[in-house]
């Protein structure tokens, strides 16, 4: 058996050839126009997509060419990756939403309450995400497993 090597690993040549054949079969099924060099306008649009994903409290992770289904109510969206540096802004948004819910309940604007509660839950979720990431980052990178012991009747 022959092997192909890289600085990181050794691969059987058969595995590499099988993978390349798989790619060739998949590409044969796809339209050839997908395998062309993009125009300058297409490339600019693609790069601009990522610039337009930056929002005040983080970065939107939705796919290129997809529309925002939340109509830019980003705090509600599971695809928003909150920026830890914007934690105070999220706390302010959460507190404002709680105050608006209290006002809507006091005024009897029940239609408003439901939407605000969804946004409040989203803001609280984003704050929890920041805390989880902070705790994961600060957590020890090793776990003490102790020493193995054998059962007495071994």
Percent of the chain with pLDDT over 90: 38
Q: 142 by DSSP, 3-state: which?
A: coil
Q: Which of the two residues, 95 and 80, has the higher pLDDT score?
A: 95
Answer for the pair 80, 123: CB distance below 8 angstroms, yes or no: no
For 135, list phi and psi in degrees, rounded to 5.
-65, -35
128-141 residue pLDDT tens: 999 998 887 665 56
Q: Is residue 23 part of a domain?
A: no
Q: Is residue 117 part of a domain?
A: yes
Q: Is residue 40 part of a domain?
A: no
81-114 residue pLDDT tens: 999 999 999 999 999 999 999 999 999 999 999 9
Q: Is the pTM of this model over 0.75?
A: no
HSE (side-chain half, CA atoms, 13 Å) at 57: 26
The runs of H, that is alpha helices, within 59-109 are 87-107
d(Cα 61, Cα 64) in Å, to the nearest integer? 9
Q: Which residues contact 88 (CB under 8 A, 6 or more apart)?
A: none
Q: Residue 86's domain spans which residues?
A: 59-137
Q: How many domains are there within the chain?
A: 1
Q: How confident is the model at residue 63 (pLDDT cuts 50, 70, 90)?
A: confident
């Amino acid at each position: 058996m022959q092997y192909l090597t890289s600085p990181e690993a050794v691969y059987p040549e058969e595995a590499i050839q099988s993978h390349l054949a798989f790619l060739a079969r998949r590409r044969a099924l796809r339209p050839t126009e997908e395998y062309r060099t993009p125009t300058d306008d297409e490339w600019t649009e693609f790069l601009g997509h990522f610039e337009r994903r930056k929002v005040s409290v983080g970065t939107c992770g939705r796919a290129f060419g997809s529309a925002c289904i939340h109509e830019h109510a980003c705090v509600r969206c599971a695809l928003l990756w909150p920026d830890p540096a914007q934690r105070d802004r999220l706390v302010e948004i959460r507190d404002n939403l709680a105050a608006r819910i209290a006002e809507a309940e006091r005024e009897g604007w029940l239609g408003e309450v439901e939407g605000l509660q969804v946004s409040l839950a989203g803001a609280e979720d984003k704050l929890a995400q920041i805390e989880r990431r902070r705790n994961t980052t600060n957590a020890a990178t090793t776990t003490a497993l102790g020493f193995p012991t054998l059962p007495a009747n071994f």
